[in-house]
A and B are shown apart, each in its own frame.
Chain A
């Protein structure tokens, strides 16, 4: 398993990682290949039908670091992903996944691990706090643009922080 994890790590390094800074938030987006994600879940004993379903998705690991001095608020309801032709990509909510896994009879431990690998739907980021996780989108060929908004301030009435990431792409397996 260690060899597998090392391979995953190295494969991750080879992928293009995109970092955007819109003070006071640092956003790091790392697309993962289907092979990477399948290997990750296989190594943890996930059921084949769960892995099969996930292998057709577009995984992007998101790292968010609050580099400012005030609280910032992640709320994925305020994130939009669009394709080159302006079509909005629907990002399934974590509850949607939960329903799928329950319907498949996936063991609770695997459901739990899956949930913890996801980016939270909502979280207050304290100054200097960094948390991350995966976002799962439908797999598309072309570029994706992310429009993300974060509220700021303890009462969410601070300046609205807007981040735009262009040319994000789902990672493909190596030829």
Chain B
């Protein structure tokens, strides 16, 4: 190896090191993508039991924010997987937050009782919180980091209870 090759090797090394984040991107489960980082719009909503939740209070851990509506077919299909995921992640530091878009308590209660009885949901009664987040459609899932920054977005419904997704969620950087 000549000395002239060393700078070239250094460049190659730098490129490889620089490529590390790209490799991490490639490990994203199908349908998840990096989100142009930005602060998650805060909200304070109550769930179907009347309990209040403030997104800011969840800082310090990752938050899985999931927007849905009972009339949305893909939401109905995805919700059981979200429920199983929540059970399987019970010991992990990911807070799962469901936000129903603009439906009443009775509708949400009836839907969840039939599709995912272990789940509770926050009620975005007038749809204004959903509007502030501007999802691409419903269902919509965002992963908010411990500092309150949206880092990832899911495209449409995802099989969240599958190992690839669970591993990804369990290995989110703390």
Contacts of A132 in B (CB 8 A): 137
Q: Determine the distance from Cα of A36 to Cα of B70 in the docked complex, in whole angstroms.
A: 17
Chain B interface helix/strand/loop/mixed: loop
Contacts of B103 in A (CB 8 A): 44, 109, 113
With both chains docked as a complex, state the minimum distance between the C-beta of A106 and any C-beta of chain B, in angstroms: 11
Chain B interface size range:
20 to 34
Which residues on B are within 8 Å of A, measured CB to CB?
Answer: 30-31, 33, 69, 71-72, 101-104, 107, 110, 114, 125-128, 130-131, 136-138, 155-156
A contacts with B, residue count (CB < 8 A): 24
Q: Determine the distance from Cα of A113 to Cα of B69 in the docked complex, in whole angstroms.
A: 9
Q: CB within 8 Å of B: which of A95-113?
A: 107-113
**Nearest A residue to B126 by beta-carbon distance?**
A108
**Nearest B residue to A126 by beta-carbon distance?**
B155
Residue A147 at the chain B interface, CB threshold 8 Å: no
With both chains docked as a complex, state the minimum distance between the C-beta of A149 and any C-beta of chain B, in angstroms: 20
| Per-residue interface assignment for chain A, residues 89 to 132, with 1 indicating a CB less than 8 Å from any chain B CB and 0 otherwise | 00000000000000000011111110111001001001011111
Residue A24 at the chain B interface, CB threshold 8 Å: no
Q: Determine the distance from Cα of A132 to Cα of B127 in the docked complex, in whole angstroms.
A: 19
Partner of B138, one of A107, A109, A116: A116
Q: Determine the distance from Cα of A129 to Cα of B130 in the docked complex, in whole angstroms.
A: 20
Q: Determine the distance from Cα of A45 to Cα of B70 in the docked complex, in whole angstroms.
A: 14
B136 touches A123 (CB 8 A): yes
Residue A14 at the chain B interface, CB threshold 8 Å: no
With both chains docked as a complex, state the minimum distance between the C-beta of B138 and any C-beta of chain A, in angstroms: 6
Question: Contacts A126-B33, A126-B155, A128-B30 known; A112 to B130 CB distance under 8 Å?
Answer: yes
With both chains docked as a complex, state the minimum distance between the C-beta of B130 and any C-beta of chain A, in angstroms: 7
Residue A133 at the chain B interface, CB threshold 8 Å: yes
Q: Determine the distance from Cα of A2 to Cα of B114 in the docked complex, in whole angstroms.
A: 10
Task: Give the 6 A-B residue pairs with the shortest CB-CB distance, closest first.
Answer: A112-B127, A108-B126, A112-B102, A109-B102, A131-B137, A129-B155
A131 touches B101 (CB 8 A): no
8 additional A-B residue pairs with CB within 8 Å, beyond A109-B127, A120-B136, A133-B137: A44-B103, A108-B128, A109-B102, A109-B125, A112-B101, A116-B102, A116-B130, A123-B136
